[in-house]
Structure 1
Amino acid sequence: MAAAVASGRKPPWHDRLSRHLATRVSSLRPPSNVPFENPVRVLAQLNKKQWLFFLVAFAGWTWDAFDFFTVSLTASEIARSLNKTVTDITWGITLVLMLRSVGAVIFGLLSDKYGRKWPFIANCALFVIFELGTGFVQTYNQFLALRALFGIAMGGIYGNCAATALEDCPLHARGIVSGMLQQGYAFGYLLAVIFNRALTTTTSQGWRSLFWFGAAPPILIIIFRLLLPETEAYIAQKNMEGLSHKPAFTRMAKASFKSYWHIMIYLVVIMTGFNFMSHGSQDLYPTMLEVQLGFSANRRTVTMCVANLGAIAGGTLFGYASNFVGRRLTIMIACILGGALVYPWTFASNGGIIAAVFFLQFMVQGAWGVIPIYLSELSPAPLRAFIVGLSYQLGNLASSAASTIEATLGMRFPLDTPAGESIQRYDYGKVMAIFMGCVFGFVLIVTFFGPENRSGDLEVHGFENLVDDDEGQDDAEKNAQDDAEKNTPTHTFKDSYCIARS
């Protein structure tokens, strides 16, 4: 391999693969040149504009999660209203997850080509329309149609949010900001739980009032984003494109696909595992608490609030730790600890379930807290919103039937139904325990064999060296191959590009 690099030729794929596999254990060693830092001082590195970018991205991702979980939290009520089974209603969840990838393609390309601002605003406007419309559906087919459209709208927001929050973020603050951003998902779930309890069981319109309420906050988020400019990283990219007499974005997009196709495949595979992890542990859990364990509305609300508080704490802590522990090792630790908590999470029915749900979601979202920056550092700068969003949503597509699978398998384990109740009870806990054990193991293995580009440059400079290089033998790759041989972290895009490929 060294001879190939010295001669200017790319080493054969089997040599690169052999070296990659040989360094999977050694590459887990935490970097010695990144000391532990006080998280308060780390966050103090963000200036006012960077904080505003983070907050608007956090708000958008939070409401995406709120809109998604309105269905899983009200599945039983919607089923009764539309005269369907809970399993039928979970197909609405599945449709959203299946069609998110369409939105990721559309809005991801728009975000990378035309900016982060207006595609984000368009996403939020669609949230208003579809959430409002869902509250008016009268038939099951109308419900499925609205959720399908919602899936397209929701699919475009994640990559944009990650780019908006992290592109201009200081290097040493990336990990903790990533963890905080990702917990917009858990915070949205928490808000959905609270407002579901406040509206669904106390208003005459029931579950419909929750959807109508959900249409209002995105209007405020739109106003917030209107007041902010584009990110500095995106402005720098457009300035670079303006210096070229050729269609720079198209050329850079082609170079990205040519050079990063194998990284993209890896990102889809790992995001499949991550989405199975989150949806497998969350979507059907409220139904299990209600139908199997017989929890009252108040007790379900308290349990799910505790779970999401654990998620928020875990995501922030693990995201912060990934900066000096390493992205992959942090994810693997979360998976191991999460797997150890599966049994009490599903089989405890007394007060101990509170601790179990807290720490299980602490680990699930702890692993997730690393994901925004992990994906961003492995993605090519000119297509960051597109690649981050698409890999996330293709993972959603692959895992879209998680709740339906669990609900269907659960029907094989019927429980005795108390007299006077019309809904059949099933042992969902047994199915969810087996399912989550397998998912934690899958994510652990995939992460172990995956790449890492911690502290890679998130700006576009340097990528122009790849645009006209049809054979991939430019000076950027040659120099970075030497760095990859030494397994030393770098802070330029040229080096980031090749380390990700190694």
Structure 2
Amino acid sequence: MAASIASDAKSAWHARLSHHIVTRLSSLKPPSNVRFENPFRVLGQLNKKQWLFFLVAFAGWTWDAFDFFTVSLTASDIAESLDRTLTDITWGITIVLMLRSVGAIVFGLLSDKYGRKWPFIWNCVLFVIFEMGSGFVRTYKQFLAVRALFGIAMGGIYGNCAATALEDCPLAARGIISGMLQEGYALGYLLAVIFNRALTTTTSHGWRSLFWFGAGPPVLIIVFRMCLPETETYMAQKNMERVSHKASFIRMAKASFKSHWHIMIYLVVIMAGFSFMAHGSQDLYPTMLEVQLEFGANRRTVTMCVASLGGIAGGMLFGHMSDFIGRRLTIIVACTLGGALIYPWAFVRNGGIMAAVFFLQFMVQGAWGVIPIYLSELSPPALRAFIVGLAYQLGNLASSASSTIEATIGMRFPLETLADATIERYDYAKVMASFMGCVFGFVLIVSFLGPENRSADLSVGYPLESQRDEEDDDDVEKNPPDDAEKNTPAQHQGTCVA
């Protein structure tokens, strides 16, 4: 009996996998009754509490991005101050990306177990401490140590922010809210560019002033979050745990791992591609403008601001589009158009560079705008903050050496060093263009082959396995279901059936 059930389950799994593969193209077709909704009318569906949840999540994610980009924007200054090479300083970026997965595990589990509120607050407290400490480092070892600790703090915020902003969000507004939330990343980049120009070159402490300033706004975000309650979805989950021992957090977590392990692997793979896309197009770009194109501080600032504005616009538009044409198709369109823009983005040297950086980031962040809701819909409710955050940060881990790879390969293409230059010049544009071409292609292919769960219920009613007692698993052999398909993972959230 047991062998027969196992054989039937294996056959059913193979059938679902075959069906998934042959339907990848047809599943991209939008529903025949789809129509584009006015985004302002869609946003009007959010009530006051839902807006506040979005705003505090957006603020936390924005400042996470600001803190991250303080290093990439001041890398040359830090290298000169600490008497190290630019490649050495990019390891400060790499080590942050490498350790963010630790923070995602710790704060993700805390958020799913104890709520969205207090883990978020303590996460922001660490932001204050480590950003302030970054401004006081005097040696390269101190710099790496502080940034390593900061990486853990940064890793904990994304999953919590996505859950806070999206799990109570009206269905019709998910796409645009996802895009708006994700573009906290681009806004953080924009703010970092602006304040870098305002503080780094105009104050006696230089780049250190930018880090000290960065420690202030998280205090306001902490106060904001303290004034808000837990999300209604999380409170419903806690209520379910109180009324039924079968719905305990441990049981639901175990069931989620059992039924979603293949989805977790897929999410890490696709997030690795997305992280390479973001960091490959942004981390070293300011250095390229300064060192290779010899842009002055003002022109460099304007260029990066234009890029960030393009990203913000793209994230909101493509995020909203994904509610109508689908999450995967939106990503594929953004990657295709982004690939077509690589050449002007990397090699235009006249005024057209502004349009190139605007539209390249429009496509990069357009694809990214789908990610918060795409990950949330594929994740089990009991571990939403954990899985969303961990997939995101493991993707960052895989791409952690992006800027170091580009900087190192760039050294193979030296350019003529000017007489008054203090840093050697390399052809970073050639390396970045090749790098981004590969990344866009990878993300497009993985998205095409991947699953989608658009409009999935983000409530706490499943996975179905979490409703069972442990003894019930033993009874399956004795009383097999009449219809095995009813109890297969194909009916649950986040399966490989599009």
Q: Which amino acid aligns with 1:112?
A: D
Q: Which amino acid aligns with 1:124?
A: C
Instruction: Give the aligned partner of residue 355 of structure 1.
Output: 355
Distance in 1, Cα, partners of 2:209 & 2:338:
35
Shift of 1:245: 3.0
1:469-488 to 2 correspondences below 5 Å: 470=473, 478-479=485-486
Distance in 2, Cα, partners of 1:127 & 1:476:
52
Instruction: Give the aligned partner of residue 228 of structure 1.
Output: 228
Query: 1:211-249: per-residue Cα shift (whole Å, max 9, x none)?
Result: 000000000000000000000000000000001235710
Given the superposition, is the C-alpha separation of residues 319 and 480 from structure 1 closer, same or farther in structure 2, using an over 3 Å criterion?
Answer: farther
Instruction: Give the aligned partner of residue 438 of structure 2.
Output: 438
Query: Are 1:497 and 2:493 an aligned pair?
Result: yes
Distance in 2, Cα, partners of 1:80 & 1:497:
51
Given the superposition, is the C-alpha separation of residues 349 and 498 from structure 1 closer, same or farther in structure 2, using an over 3 Å criterion?
Answer: closer
Query: Contact 2:251–2:466 at 8 Å: present in 1 too?
Result: no
Distance in 2, Cα, partners of 1:474 & 1:432:
55
Query: Contact 1:97–1:396 at 8 Å: present in 2 too?
Result: yes
1:60-99 to 2 correspondences below 5 Å: 60-99=60-99
Q: Which amino acid aligns with 1:172?
A: A
Instruction: Give the aligned partner of residue 461 of structure 1.
Output: 461
Query: Are 1:32 and 2:32 an aligned pair?
Result: yes
List alignment gaps of at least 5 residues for structure 1: 485-494
Query: 1:402-457: per-residue Cα shift (whole Å, max 9, x none)?
Result: 00000000000000011121210000000000000000000000000000000000
SS of residue matched to 2:493: helix
Distance in 2, Cα, partners of 1:143 & 1:460:
43
Instruction: Give the aligned partner of residue 177 of structure 2.
Output: 177
- Tell me the number of residue pairs that the alignment of Structure 1 and Structure 2 aligns: 487
Shift of 1:14: 2.6
Query: Contact 1:131–1:212 at 8 Å: present in 2 too?
Result: yes
Distance in 1, Cα, partners of 2:482 & 2:153:
41
Query: Contact 1:31–1:326 at 8 Å: present in 2 too?
Result: no
Given the superposition, is the C-alpha separation of residues 294 and 32 from structure 1 closer, same or farther in structure 2, using an over 3 Å criterion?
Answer: same
Query: Contact 2:20–2:496 at 8 Å: present in 1 too?
Result: no
Given the superposition, is the C-alpha separation of residues 215 and 117 from structure 1 closer, same or farther in structure 2, using an over 3 Å criterion?
Answer: same
SS of residue matched to 1:414: coil
Q: Which amino acid aligns with 1:69?
A: F
Q: Which amino acid aligns with 1:142?
A: Q
Instruction: Give the aligned partner of residue 409 of structure 1.
Output: 409
Q: Which amino acid aligns with 2:303?
A: T
Query: 1:6-56: per-residue Cα shift (whole Å, max 9, x none)?
Result: x98564433222111000000000123443211111000000000000000
SS of residue matched to 1:81: helix
Query: Contact 1:264–1:391 at 8 Å: present in 2 too?
Result: yes
Query: Contact 1:281–1:432 at 8 Å: present in 2 too?
Result: yes
1:205-220 to 2 correspondences below 5 Å: 205-220=205-220
SS of residue matched to 2:423: coil
Query: Are 1:44 and 2:40 an aligned pair?
Result: no
What RMSD, in angstroms, separates the aligned Cα atoms of the two structures?
2.0
Distance in 1, Cα, partners of 2:353 & 2:483:
54
Distance in 2, Cα, partners of 1:401 & 1:63:
22
Query: 1:151-188: per-residue Cα shift (whole Å, max 9, x none)?
Result: 00000000000000000000010000000000000000
SS of residue matched to 1:420: coil
Shift of 1:499: 4.3
SS of residue matched to 1:415: coil
Distance in 1, Cα, partners of 2:41 & 2:260:
35
Distance in 2, Cα, partners of 1:63 & 1:20:
39
Instruction: Give the aligned partner of residue 338 of structure 1.
Output: 338
Q: Which amino acid aligns with 2:485?
A: K
Q: Which amino acid aligns with 1:122?
A: W
Query: Contact 2:30–2:325 at 8 Å: present in 1 too?
Result: yes
Query: Contact 1:465–1:474 at 8 Å: present in 2 too?
Result: no
Instruction: Give the aligned partner of residue 13 of structure 2.
Output: 13
Query: Contact 2:452–2:497 at 8 Å: present in 1 too?
Result: no
Distance in 2, Cα, partners of 1:371 & 1:314:
13
Q: Which amino acid aligns with 2:404?
A: T
Shift of 1:501: 5.7
Shift of 1:467: 4.6
Given the superposition, is the C-alpha separation of residues 75 and 244 from structure 1 closer, same or farther in structure 2, using an over 3 Å criterion?
Answer: same
Query: Contact 2:17–2:496 at 8 Å: present in 1 too?
Result: no
1:286-325 to 2 correspondences below 5 Å: 286-325=286-325
Instruction: Give the aligned partner of residue 268 of structure 1.
Output: 268
Instruction: Give the aligned partner of residue 491 of structure 1.
Output: none
Q: Which amino acid aligns with 1:497?
A: Q
Instruction: Give the aligned partner of residue 122 of structure 1.
Output: 122
SS of residue matched to 2:229: coil
Distance in 2, Cα, partners of 1:194 & 1:476:
61
Q: Which moved more, 1:373-382 or 1:236-245?
A: 236-245
Distance in 2, Cα, partners of 1:199 & 1:476:
66
Q: Which amino acid aligns with 2:199?
A: L
Query: Contact 2:97–2:400 at 8 Å: present in 1 too?
Result: yes
Distance in 1, Cα, partners of 2:496 & 2:484:
11
Instruction: Give the aligned partner of residue 104 of structure 2.
Output: 104
Distance in 2, Cα, partners of 1:245 & 1:421:
68
Given the superposition, is the C-alpha separation of residues 400 and 106 from structure 1 closer, same or farther in structure 2, using an over 3 Å criterion?
Answer: same
Distance in 1, Cα, partners of 2:285 & 2:336:
21
Q: Which moved more, 1:60-69 or 1:456-465?
A: 456-465
Shift of 1:475: 9.1
Normalising by structure 2, we get a TM-score of 0.94
List alignment gaps of at least 5 residues for structure 2: none
Distance in 1, Cα, partners of 2:494 & 2:382:
16
SS of residue matched to 2:203: coil
Given the superposition, is the C-alpha separation of residues 457 and 30 from structure 1 closer, same or farther in structure 2, using an over 3 Å criterion?
Answer: same
Given the superposition, is the C-alpha separation of residues 480 and 302 from structure 1 closer, same or farther in structure 2, using an over 3 Å criterion?
Answer: farther
Q: Among the aligned pairs, what percent are the same residue?
A: 77
Q: Which moved more, 1:466-475 or 1:174-183?
A: 466-475
Query: Contact 2:163–2:384 at 8 Å: present in 1 too?
Result: yes
Shift of 1:464: 4.9
Query: Contact 2:463–2:492 at 8 Å: present in 1 too?
Result: no
Q: Which amino acid aligns with 1:439?
A: V
Shift of 1:349: 1.2
Distance in 1, Cα, partners of 2:484 & 2:263:
16
Q: Which amino acid aligns with 1:457?
A: D
Instruction: Give the aligned partner of residue 154 of structure 2.
Output: 154
Q: Which moved more, 1:93-102 or 1:26-35?
A: 26-35
Instruction: Give the aligned partner of residue 379 of structure 1.
Output: 379
Distance in 2, Cα, partners of 1:368 & 1:423:
33
Q: Which amino acid aligns with 2:220?
A: L
Q: Which amino acid aligns with 2:24?
A: R
